Amino acid sequence: MSLWDRLTGEFIDVIDWTTDDGDTMVWRFERYGNEIKYGAKLTVREGQTAVFVNQGQVADIFPPGMYMLETNNLPVLSTLQHWDHGFQSPFKAEIYFVSLKQFTDLKWGTKNPVMLRDADFGPTRLRAFGTYAIRVADPKVFLREIVGTDGEFTTGEIQGQLRNIIVSRFSNAIASSGIPVLDLAANYDDLGTFAASKIGEEMVEYGLSLTKLLVENVSLPPEVEKAMDRRTQMGVIGDLSKYGQFQAAEAMRAAASNPGEGGGAASAGIGAGIGMAMGHMMGGAMGGFGQGGGAFAQGGRASAPPPLPPRGRQWHVAVDGAASGPHGAEALSGLIRDGRLTRDSLVWSDGMAGWERAHSVPDLAPLFTATPPPLPPAG
């Protein structure tokens, strides 16, 4: 420090703090040799308090106001210095300005999931986050326990410790609350209030006061959220049996509107299949067609068309010594009705090693289960 700074330091007559940057909790008034001129003016604004420290010990504390610094209004400091009589020479003391405003929008959140047992989902892991607000409640305790000799103490220097306290106490609160997972969103305020009461007791030890604790979100693991989504979908669908019938009817309607290959004969076959399927659906819904088995019963026994192979697969068929195709499922049904495709016909599709008999192909074998064999020769 220059000689000029040293000389002007001895003539400081105004002591105040006006450069608050928003997150500074404590600021030390700096001057050479900690010397304060006798009769200097101390200005403490609203939301501040000034703490005099002499030789590492807290002496006098000044609330908001303007003060003339003389030995008669510094009782503690005068006692510490053994000033039995007033004097007018500079005296030494460190002055700390402490902000008493609320420090808001401080973040907290769980680094690791909180384990709890839920009545609906069993053992469950939760994460939570939110904000909180604090203020200095006891400047003397705060300086002694937290600040020490730090000349400019900010919220960033204590947020880590406060966050750990909040997360620990909140985890205990949510695990012991017994609130079902599905009802947590409706109890954020109660959880915040309960946790704040527990956390506030510990912050008193630091000279702080927890003025607000907000729970913004409690989230579930992704797999639990997916299970909840499926459960919601089931609730929207309602009667699953009716929903299945509706889906089947929609699928058949789509098939009828797109007949594909095979021409009119294939379309007619699909129409017959739709009629039979709709008949069975209606019969299941109404408990059957009554005595006799209905219009589709033959000899007291209902017959159904053979199942079709997968719609997307295409087949080549050996017809009259030449390859014919590719054919879709509907076209194969037409070839069977025309007698051009039999159990012993050679067929081939993508993915097969070579030509094979139709009855030996698993996807085509069901087509021939309902087809009677050729009649034996007459006589």
Contacts of 293 (CB under 8 A, 6+ apart): 300, 301, 302
Q: What is the pLDDT, as a whole number, of residue 225? A: 75
Find, among 308, 291, 292, the residue nearest to 367 by Cα: 308
Q: Give the burial class of 279: count Cβ atoms within 10 A of its Cβ; 0-12 exposed, 13-18 middle, 19 or more buried.
A: middle
Whether pLDDT at 151 is above 80: yes
CA diameter of the chain: 150
pLDDT digits (tens, 9 = 90+) for 311-334: 567 888 888 778 887 888 778 777
Q: What is the DSSP letter of 16?
A: -
Phi and psi, residue 209, nearest 5°: -130, 130
- Looking at domain 103-225, its CATH superfamily turns out to be Band 7 domain (3.30.479.30)
Q: Is 348 helix (H, G, I), strand (E, B) or coil?
A: strand
**pLDDT beyond 90 at 133:** yes
Q: Which amino acid is at 349?
A: S
Question: Which residue in 268, 257, 120 sits closest to 182, CA to CA?
Answer: 120
Bridge partners of residue 226, in order along the sequence: none
User: Residue 218's beta-bridge partner residues?
Assistant: 128
- Is 370 a residue whose pLDDT tops 70? no
Mean predicted confidence (pLDDT) in 100-128: 86
> Comparing C-alpha atoms, which of 18, 14, 262, 25 is closest to residue 148?
25
Where exactly are the structural domains of the chain? 3-99, 103-225, 242-287+303-368
Please state, in angstroms and rounded to a whole number, the distance separating the CA atoms of residues 254 and 374.
Answer: 35
Measured from the Cβ of residue 66, the count of other Cβ atoms closer than 10 Å reads: 11
Give burial (CB, 10 Å; 0-12/13-18/19+) of 250.
Answer: exposed
Q: Which two tokens stand for residue 28?
A: 């030390």
Alpha carbon dihedral 271, 277, 278, 282, in 10-degree steps, equals 160
Integer Cα distance of 195 and 170 in angstroms: 5
**Neighbouring-strand partners of residue 54:** 57
pLDDT tens per residue, range 43-89 = 999 999 999 887 778 878 899 999 887 766 665 565 555 554 444 55
**pLDDT tens-digit readout, 186-227:** 888 888 888 888 888 889 999 999 999 998 888 887 877 777
**Preceding amide of 123 cis, omega within 30:** no
Q: Is 297 helix (H, G, I), strand (E, B) or coil?
A: strand
> What are the contacts of 353-358 at 24+ separation with CB within 8 A?
355/318, 358/317
In the structure, what pLDDT confidence band is assigned to residue 102 with cuts at 50, 70 and 90?
A: very high
Residues 52 and 26 sit within 8 Å (Cβ to Cβ) = no
Predicted pLDDT at 194: 82
